[in-house]
Amino acid sequence: MNFDLTPLFRTSIGFDRMAQLLDQANRIDQTPSYPPYNIEHLDENNYRITLALAGFSEQDLDITSEQNTLTVSGKIETEEDEKNKNFIHRGIATRAFERRFQLADHVRVKGASMDNGLLHIELEREIPEAMKPRTIEISNGRGRQTIEQKPEAVKDDKKQIA
């Protein structure tokens, strides 16, 4: 069941993120399961996405990152000798695919590598300095020193003026 939420978003300003979330929730049932993948949390600011891509080479894949969306797509150009083969069972998928990952704010792609049919995509969360927590020093008020003149010096100054 699909709902057209477009009329609701025509008058809303600054709610693009909410519109995307609602649209994604509507598409959850339509998400393909190929290729299988893992998402690892390596440490506080580093993540790794691993996709199982048996039969694909680096030249068959395209990785793009745009507006907090990481897109991995692949397409194998079948050769003429592959088309003429008669398979009894074909279990290695060579179909085209496109897999999208929604990235959080301030997450950037560091790099990607292919190893034994597994594509590893390294991600890093970079928090801007303005958003990092900082410690504020609390003063007790006693640290301030006022400069006072001794009473005898004030009397001496009055004598010189008169």
**34-133 belongs to CATH 2.60.40.790:** yes
- Is residue 112 classed as helix, strand or coil in its secondary structure? strand
Does the pLDDT at position 89 exceed 50? Answer: yes
All CATH 2.60.40.790 domain ranges of the chain, comma separated, are 34-133
What is the distance between the alpha carbons of residues 121 and 136, in angstroms, rounded to a whole number? Answer: 38
pLDDT greater at residue 31 or residue 65 = 65
Radius of gyration, alpha carbons of the chain: 32
Give pTM, 2 decimals.
0.61
Highest mean pLDDT range out of 82-96, 119-133, 142-156? 119-133
Does the pLDDT at position 117 exceed 50? Answer: yes
